[in-house]
Amino acid sequence: MTLCSFERSRQRIAEASRLIPGGVSSHFRFGVSPTPLVIERADGVYLYDADGNRLIDYYLALGPMILGHTPVDVIEAARAQLERGILYGGQSELEFDAARLVCEMVPCAERVRFASSGSEAVQLALRLARATTGRKTVLKFEGHYHGWLDSVLWSVGTPPDDLGPEAQPIPFAGSSGQDPMAGAHVEVLSWNRTEQVVERLARGDVAAVIMEPMMCNSGGILPLPGYLEAVRKACTDSGTVLIFDEVITGFRVGPGGAQQRLGVTPDLAIFAKAIANGFSVAAVAGQARFMDQLAHGGIIHGGTYNAQSIAMAATIATLKRLNTPGVFEMMEERGQRLMTGLSDALKEAGIPATVRGLPQIFSVALGLKTPPVNYRDTLATDRKRYIRLTTAMLERGVRALERGAWFLSTEHDDEIIATTIAAFREALATIRT
């Protein structure tokens, strides 16, 4: 078999670096092995790059493309709207329809406000929580990512030496240039440790607890049985707003997100990514008693591009499809088969690893012998070896994230999954030593 090469991408990235720092427009596209790719077009599960390679895609643009890269219904809805104007600076029936769908599908959603990216929607949820409680402190958890802005980029990828004691993690700034004062009211806890959060909330001075209800950004870890329920109760008892950041899990692990699947309803939730299959849409959804503060509480939420008409048309088409009976069951079955196939291949190769998460978003970690329960446990992952594995897979036409996550779409059919498992087995053979 001829292996894919990526020389043209490498060369164009080097040339583009004279215009765009690093040749990329997001930090998370930078420094990937063997090079950031230059994509020419996409179709279904495939990406076609500048070197003429056809790659089966499990990045899915870091999550959004749940219906694959070219869903006819979404594209047609967007195309039809394009003829009717781009951005109105006013409301539209499209926006109302999209809102109705979110409220029908998501358990916590009595109201919804649209935004343009997950990062800013997070800021709105925190602002609502602080305004309605009159408190300042926000609790977040190690390894949970809530966007790149100063107020939340704390303790996402803390190096082992900077963690501090598990009972009292030291907040760690994720970027140089970050305002240290932006973390003044952020406290960090270790996730999946019930006693920590219950004890802290008992002091009655916390505005919000924010978490990924399934820790997707640091390794596909599910909450331990009873953990979400205990946090929910502690929040209710202490008058703290519980916020689920469902930017990844929303409309991906089920039509109503992780809150529906895991059976615990937050006060507010944040959505983005899969909500519009690649268009710039995010949302904060939640109970009327919080959300309606936006109508009369003096809380500012702005955004020139919020509820942009084409993106709203795409949102409606995406949500309608995801709300069709059978769609999630199909992804569940195929994703499960993929997880089992990868897991079996790893066992046969004698490489200790975990394959964990949910079929629509799971994570592979080499070097872990027992399932991790929080960020600290994931630090034992053999990341260098996994990068060798994803690079070898890419050379065999399969693109998966170097940090372990695999995103599934409705278009990853039986044949694609079989091809993927075969490429994975071949790639594994290259990292035996």
Angle between helices 93-105 and 309-322 (to 10 degrees): 30
- Taking CB under 6 A as the rule, does residue 281 contact ligand PMP? no
Structure-block tokens of residue 232: 């929910």
Choosing from 147, 223, 255, 341, the residue that interacts with ligand PMP (CB under 6 A) is 147
CB of 248 to ligand PMP, least distance (A): 5
Q: Is 273 a catalytic residue?
A: yes
224: alpha, beta or left? (left if phi > 0; alpha if psi -120 to 50): beta
Q: Cβ closer to ligand PMP: 245 or 395?
A: 245
Does 118 interact with ligand PMP (rule: CB under 6 A)?
A: yes
Minimum CB separation from ligand PMP for residue 144, in Å? 7
| Helices 383-395 + 414-430 axis angle, to 10 | 120
**Strands in 54-104 per DSSP E:** 54-57
Select from 56, 106, 139, 248 the one that contacts ligand PMP (CB under 6 A).
248
Which C-beta is closer to ligand PMP: that of 105 or that of 274?
Answer: 274
Is 320 part of the annotated catalytic residue set? no
**Which listed residue (94, 139, 206, 247) binds ligand PMP by CB under 6 A?**
247
Residue 212 is a binding residue for ligand PMP (CB under 6 A): yes
For 175, the 3-state DSSP assignment is coil
State the residue number with the nearest CB to ligand PMP. Answer: 118
Which of 46, 273, 375, 377 is flagged as catalytic?
Answer: 273
Q: Which stretch binds ligand PMP (CB under 6 A): 117-125, 179-187, 342-350, 388-396?
A: 117-125
Here the tokens at position 181 are: 């004062």
CB neighbours (10 Å) of residue 382? 17
State yes or no: residue 190 binds ligand PMP (CB under 6 A). Answer: no
Candidate list 124, 153, 214, 272; residue touching ligand PMP; CB under 6 A: 272
Pick the catalytic residue: 51, 245, 267, 377? 245
Cα separation values, 400 from 122, 330, 341, 388, 392, Å:
27, 21, 15, 12, 11
Catalytic residue among 58, 145, 227, 386: 145
Burial class from Cβ neighbours inside 10 Å (0-12, 13-18, 19+) for residue 124 reads buried
| Three-state DSSP state, 241 | strand
Three-class secondary structure of residue 204 per DSSP: coil
CB closer to ligand PMP out of 312 and 392: 312
CA distance 11 to 107: 48
Residues 6+ apart with CB under 8 A from 177: none
Strands 268-271 and 241-245 come out as parallel
For ligand PMP (CB under 6 A), the number of binding residues is 15
Name the strands in the sheet holding 206-211, side by side, starting at the edge strand that comes first in the sequence.
111-115, 282-286, 268-271, 241-245, 206-211, 137-141, 186-189
Active site residue 46: no
| 155, 143 contact by CB (below 8 A) | yes
Asked if 98 and 176 touch (Cβ cutoff 8 Å), the reply is no
Which member of 62, 230, 379, 422 binds ligand PMP (CB under 6 A)?
62
Closer residue to ligand PMP, CB minimum distance, 28 or 96: 28
Closest to ligand PMP by CB, 117 or 277: 117
Which of 133, 217, 391, 420 forms a contact with ligand PMP (CB under 6 A)?
217
Shortest separation between residue 32's beta carbon and ligand PMP, angstroms: 15
| Least spacing, CB of residue 119 vs ligand PMP, in Å | 3
The sign one gets for the Cα dihedral 64, 287, 194, 149 is positive
> Of 111-119, 258-266, 319-327, 349-357, which part binds ligand PMP (CB under 6 A)?
111-119
Residue 4 DSSP class: P
Nearest CB to ligand PMP, comparing residues 145 and 328: 145
Q: Select from 75, 66, 69, 73 the least CA-distant residue to 39.
A: 69
Contact region with ligand PMP (CB under 6 A), list: 127-135, 161-169, 244-252, 410-418: 244-252
- 155 scored as a contact of ligand PMP (CB under 6 A): no
Q: Which is nearer to ligand PMP, 257 or 335 (CB)?
A: 257
Residue 357 has a CB neighbour count (10 Å cut-off) of 23
| Stretch of 49-57, 118-126, 230-238, 288-296 contacting ligand PMP, by CB under 6 A | 118-126
- Catalytic positions are 145, 245, 273
Binding residues (CB under 6 A) for ligand PMP: these are 62, 117-119, 122, 145-147, 212, 217, 245, 247-248, 272, 282
